[in-house]
A and B are shown apart, each in its own frame.
Chain A
Amino acid sequence: NAGVTQTPKFRVLKTGQSMTLLCAQDMNHEYMYWYRQDPGMGLRLIHYSVGEGTTAKGEVPDGYNVSRLKKQNFLLGLESAAPSQTSVYFCASSYFGQRNYEQYFGPGTRLTVT
């Protein structure tokens, strides 16, 4: 049981390049999330998904796209990277229920855009 995994762990991009971050979970969770973490700003939600085939915008969606073609995977895409997207990206997943909304986080991807 690996929990939540993220690929890659580190990446350096040049401005204008594109890339896809992959998140996978093996807990059969319905909900999945992408956050970015910047110093002094906590975790900000980029996009999220409440089930296979569905996605929704979070707090800071501009410049990112997502897809959830399979329940266990959630992809985050940057079509044209900008230096402002330099950040640590965390994926998380959670079970949906009346009582338990605990989120499980992956190890993160450190992205630098030069």
Chain B
Amino acid sequence: GQQVMQIPQYQHVQEGEDFTTYCNSSTTLSNIQWYKQRPGGHPVFLIQLVKSGEVKKQKRLTFQFGEAKKNSSLHITATQTTDVGTYFCAGRSGETSGSRLTFGEGTQLTVNP
């Protein structure tokens, strides 16, 4: 079945440093979503990428979808303590009503003030 791998598993940064998490799929994806989960909380949707090579920005967050639609990345510029949490990518490999999201293992980000 479809596998989605995410690296690194953990990342510790000083406030103000940049952060990147990478997501790789074993199959070509129709779209990819990113979620953030604060400690003790539930996953919250951040963004969806659909097109090959797509780049989207949300303030200090930049999301990219690879040309082959098998990988994606999330980059945070100048991290802040509010960025603490676990970031998950989730890929979908089909367009039919039965297609499901497969989540990566997540990258847990801690930010030292």
Contacts and interface: CB of A to CB of B under 8 A. Distances in A.
B45 A102 contact: yes
A96 B97 contact: yes
Nearest to A51: B97
Nearest to A48: B100
Most buried by B among A58, A96, A105: A105
B85 interface: no
* Chain A interface category by residue count: 20 to 34
Nearest to B105: A42
Interface residues of B, number: 25
Nearest to A50: B97
B97 A101 contact: no
B110 interface: no
Contacts of A59: 1, 102
Interface in A7-53: 33, 35, 40-45, 48, 50
Contact of B103 (A40, A43, A48): A43
B9 interface: yes
B24 interface: no
Contact of A101 (B35, B41, B92): B92
A101 B105 contact: no
Contact of B45 (A40, A41, A104, A108): A104
Most buried by B among A59, A101, A104, A107: A101
B42 A102 contact: no
A102 B43 contact: no
Most buried by B among A44, A58, A103: A103
Interface string A72-114: 0000000000000000001010001001111111111000000
A56 interface: yes
Interface of B: 1, 6, 9, 31, 33, 35, 41-45, 48, 50, 88, 90, 92, 97-98, 100-106
Interface of A: 33, 35, 40-45, 48, 50, 56, 58-59, 90, 92, 96, 99-108
10 contacts: A42-B88, A42-B104, A42-B105, A45-B101, A48-B100, A99-B50, A101-B33, A103-B43, A104-B45, A105-B43
